[in-house]
Amino acid sequence: MNNFNEFKQFSETDIRPAQFDDEHKRVSIEDINMLQSRKNEFVKTNCPACNLDDSEHEFLKNEFNYEKCNNCKTTYINPRPSPEILKWFYRNSKNYDFWNNVMYPASEESRRKNIILPRVNMTIDLCKKYDNEMNSLLEVGAGFGSFCSEIQSTKKFKRIVAIEPTPELASTCRKKNIETIESSIEDIDFSTQKFDVIVNFEVIEHLFSPTEFLLQLKNVLNDGGLLILSCPNGMGFDIQLLKEKSSAIDHEHLNYFNPHSMSLLLRDCGYRVLDVFTPGKLDAELVRKKILSGEFLLKDDDFIKQMLIDHWNKLGNNFQEFLVNQNMSSNMWAIAQKI
């Protein structure tokens, strides 16, 4: 049984301080404009989960086209930036500089308590649950280095390595005395070293080719090694109800898998799927805020109005727990093993 209690209730403003909203919007618009400037170079792809060319238009946001696969219900940007454009984008992103220099430092302690520490505890618990070796751990897309730093302090692993392709963030990881490789994992030769555990949190949704990524991770894992990843759940409550108005739908996220399609993808890449669950805690609050601000109109949905508006103090937390327990939260974890 998954330890959902590790994921304590918290507020969106705990991890995204409201005083930075205006600046965050400004740099996000700059990044969107960067991508749009090369939109004529975007390429058409099949579904990133099942690889079928059988999709229908879902919605538009920021002039990017989102489609939904008729087979596995994965939502994805199509056409999308090529790998070359993505490398260029992340190396020049104003938004990532802003998060590294402003947003992360301002919310670091809250993130540590509400996100990072539960991730660390869950990772250790999963290793114990599946009797996995804990000699070496690789985090792909280490960002600010918070997870590596926190799990390093537990002394559960003999070696911890961070991969972070964004120069400013890689520098931040090094300043925390984390062994850091500044590159995309697809460009690294790991022929002489393997890891017992690979984690990547909120990474796979950004990638042009999730299949190539997962195959490379498998090459880096020891036999029987554990892969732990998290990403948005495209069939989660927040995304399904709000669609393009959801804050989870943004220009950086190319892929929105769901528990079924993520399991399908992992199996196709040669993994044994051990578990998929959705421990997210913010769906109800995020939808409530959109309704209260007038950004989203409920129309005749009396049930949602009762849950999120009329009886919020009484029912809000219980409704969020229902979403979690039914795998309907918009944050998803997948646990798989190399076979």
What are residue 276's phi and psi, to 5 degrees? Answer: -140, 130
Query: What's the token pair of residue 70?
Result: 């008729």
- Characterize the bridge pairing of strands 271-277 and 255-256: unpaired
Query: What's the token pair of residue 231?
Result: 């990403």
Q: The dihedral of CA 29, 232, 266, 65: what is its sign? A: negative
Residue 106 carries which DSSP code? H
Amino acid identity, residue 172?
A: T
* Rounded Cα–Cα distance for residues 53 and 57 (Å): 12
**pLDDT below 70 — which residues of the chain?**
1-17
pLDDT value, residue 245:
96
Query: What's the token pair of residue 180?
Result: 């850091």
The separation between CA 107 and the C-alpha centre of its own chain, rounded to angstroms, equals 18
pLDDT tens across 21-79, in order?
Answer: 889 899 999 999 999 999 999 999 999 999 999 999 999 999 999 999 999 999 999 99
Tokens 């402003």 label which residue? 102
* Rounded Cα–Cα distance for residues 138 and 161 (Å): 5
pLDDT tens across 200-241, in order?
Answer: 999 999 999 999 999 999 999 999 999 999 999 999 999 999
Cross-strand partners of 298: none
Report whether 199 contacts 140 (CB < 8 A). Answer: yes
Residue 67 carries which DSSP code? E
* Rounded Cα–Cα distance for residues 46 and 24 (Å): 32
Maximum Cα–Cα distance for the chain, whole Å?
60
Amino acid identity, residue 152?
A: Q
Q: The dihedral of CA 137, 139, 144, 150: what is its sign? A: negative
Query: What's the token pair of residue 246?
Result: 């959801």
pLDDT value, residue 17:
62
Instruction: Indicate the average pLDDT of the chain.
Output: 92
pLDDT value, residue 300:
81
- 221 backbone φψ class: left, alpha, beta (φ>0; ψ -120 to 50): beta
pLDDT value, residue 16:
60
Element (H, E) at 255: strand 255-256
Report whether 184 contacts 213 (CB < 8 A). Answer: no
Assessment of whether the complete model's pTM goes beyond 0.95: no
Helix (H, G, I), strand (E, B) or coil at 258: coil
Amino acid identity, residue 218?
A: K
Helix (H, G, I), strand (E, B) or coil at 13: helix
